């Protein structure tokens, strides 16, 4: 180690940004560090200069245009391979999203999970964030689940819709680094206008985490689909016991989740991993959010101890 002359607020924010993605063994480019930096009032050029300075002091390591907290190139090759694989999966994601958007009461479909981070491998699934019409989220969700179980043998590989909100409740309730990252990286595939509404509703808190965040372009993203068959199906479901079906599907789903998972979680964690309200549904059996945030804190503490930093 060379003697470190100073460790600035910018340095600290850069390390924190790289640290979060280090949980996933994912090095970042300078422009990515800038976008997910926790502070504003800084230029891309200043971020690049600070990255190179930290690399020269061996706080981190540079491999071409990628920066990592790990000293070997294994994660660099892993990322590049994952980026290439994600490019191959994106057309498939677009087709699936177009199919999902044809279901009753679906208003928008966005790619989340690994694909939204531009990474896919043999263990990855296609994850989707779905926006529905108000008071019809659970009908929409149940129809999608039934399709997956009947026609896809319940496979999650290409059809994993695990987060739903409705158009009147688009503000994400858990507001932390994990949810900010997920929201900032979603890829709009269907219903461009609702992607823009989603960001507008959440910008007041999202920009506190990522002041330099820039939304994705939506010029080529289709607007919400309202085909004739879809309108007919929605009208029929509204006429024939729509509200009763909505309540039945929500309580049936919650009862099943409690039976399968409640003993493995305390009440607070269960409420987050299996969020079940009229206007939101989240199904994350592994409670990935909690695991990631705990791992992030551990990494920060280990780094501070290693370099004798606060």
pLDDT at position 158 is 87
Burial 200-216 (b: 16+ CB within 10 A, else e): ebbeeebeebbebbeeb
* Residue the block writes with tokens 């690399």: 55
CB hemisphere CA count around 131 (13 angstroms) = 27
Sorted by sequence, the CB contacts under 8 Å of residue 239 that are 6+ apart come out as none
Contact 123, 85 (CB under 8 A): no
d(CA 222, CA 140): 20
Confidence of residue 78 (pLDDT cuts 50, 70, 90): very high
Q: Provide the pLDDT confidence category of residue 310 given band limits of 50, 70 and 90.
A: low
Residue range 30-53, pLDDT digits in tens:
999 999 999 999 999 999 999 999
Kindly report, residue by residue over 231-286, the tens digit of the pLDDT: 999 999 999 999 999 999 999 999 999 999 999 999 999 999 999 999 999 998 88
Q: Which domains does the chain show, CATH number per domain?
A: 9-76+292-307 (1.10.10.10), 80-291 (no CATH)
């Amino acid at each position: 180690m060379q003697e470190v002359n100073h460790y600035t607020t910018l340095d600290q924010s850069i390390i924190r940004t790289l640290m979060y993605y280090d949980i996933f063994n994912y090095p970042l480019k300078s422009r990515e560090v800038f976008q997910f930096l926790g502070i504003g009032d800084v230029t891309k050029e200043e971020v690049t200069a600070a990255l190179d300075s930290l690399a020269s002091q061996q706080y981190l390591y540079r491999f071409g245009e990628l920066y990592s907290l790990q000293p070997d190139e294994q994660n660099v090759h892993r990322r590049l391979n994952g980026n290439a694989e994600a490019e191959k999966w994106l057309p498939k994601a677009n087709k699936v999203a177009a199919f999902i958007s044809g279901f009753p009461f679906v208003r928008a479909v966005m790619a989340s999970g690994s694909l939204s981070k531009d990474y896919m491998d043999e263990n990855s699934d296609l994850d989707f964030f779905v926006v529905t019409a108000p008071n019809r989220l659970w009908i929409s969700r149940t129809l999608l689940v039934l399709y997956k179980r009947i026609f896809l043998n319940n496979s999650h590989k290409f059809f994993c819709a695990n987060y739903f909100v409705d158009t009147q409740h688009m503000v994400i309730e858990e507001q932390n680094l994990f949810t900010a990252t997920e929201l900032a990286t979603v890829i709009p595939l269907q219903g461009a206008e609702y992607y823009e509404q989603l960001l507008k509703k959440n910008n007041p808190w999202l920009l506190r985490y990522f002041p330099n965040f820039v939304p994705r372009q939506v010029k080529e993203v289709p607007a919400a689909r309202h085909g004739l068959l879809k309108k007919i199906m929605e009208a029929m479901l509204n006429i024939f016991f729509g509200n009763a079906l909505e309540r039945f599907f929500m309580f049936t789903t919650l009862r099943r989740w409690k039976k399968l998972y409640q003993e493995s979680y305390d009440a607070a964690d269960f409420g987050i991993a299996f969020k079940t309200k009229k206007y939101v549904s989240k199904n994350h059996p592994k409670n990935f959010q909690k695991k990631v945030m705990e791992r992030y804190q551990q990494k920060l503490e280990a780094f501070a101890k290693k370099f004798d930093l606060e």
